[in-house]
Amino acid sequence: MLVAEDQAYETHTLIITQILWLISEGKVSRGVNKEGVNYCNNLINELLAKGLEPFVTTFHRDLPQALEDEYDSFLYPNIVNDFQDYAELCFKEFGDRVKHWIALNEPWTFSKYRYADGISPPARCSTWKNLSCTDGDSGLNQLLAHAAADNVYNTKYQ
C-alpha cells in the first residue's frame, strides 16, 4: 500500500466510502467483512507511520443494496439503529488510532440531489416520480443517525 510521504499536509481524510467494505450484507448483525476491516486497519496504520493523522468519514453517499431495498436508503427511521451499529463497529475497530470522525458527508446535498431534485439515483421523492415522501424524510433520518453515532462515541469511546 502506497501512501504519499509529502509532508505538506499533516492530516489525511479516509473516507470509508462503501459500508460494504465492513458489512457487505448491510447490518453488523449479518456479519463483518474482515478483509474490509483489515484493509482499513492497514491504511490507517500506514497513514500514521507516515506522520499523517487520519480523519474518517463513515458515510459518503453509498449504502449496501440490502439497506436500499429494506429502507429505501435513509427514507425510513429504521436505518438509524443499523447506522449506529455500523458506526460503533468503526469506533471499536479503528478508534484506538482515529481521533477525528465525520459521521455523514454532506447530508443536505445527499438528500437534495438524491431525493428532491433527482440529480442522483434513485430520485425517489422527486416531483416527476410523485411518491409520498420528501427529501426532508431522508435529511431527518440522517441527522438521527448522526446523533445516534455521536451518542455511542461519546458514551463508550471518548
By CB atoms closer than 10 A (0-12, 13-18, 19+), residue 127 is exposed
**Active-site residue identified among 25, 53, 70, 106:** 106
User: What contacts 24+ positions apart, CB below 8 Å, involve 114-118?
Assistant: 114/61, 114/73, 114/138, 115/75
d(CA 142, CA 90): 17
Catalytic, 88? Answer no
What are the beta bridge partners of residue 54?
Answer: 12
> What's the longest Cα–Cα distance across the chain?
52
Tell me the catalytic residues: 106
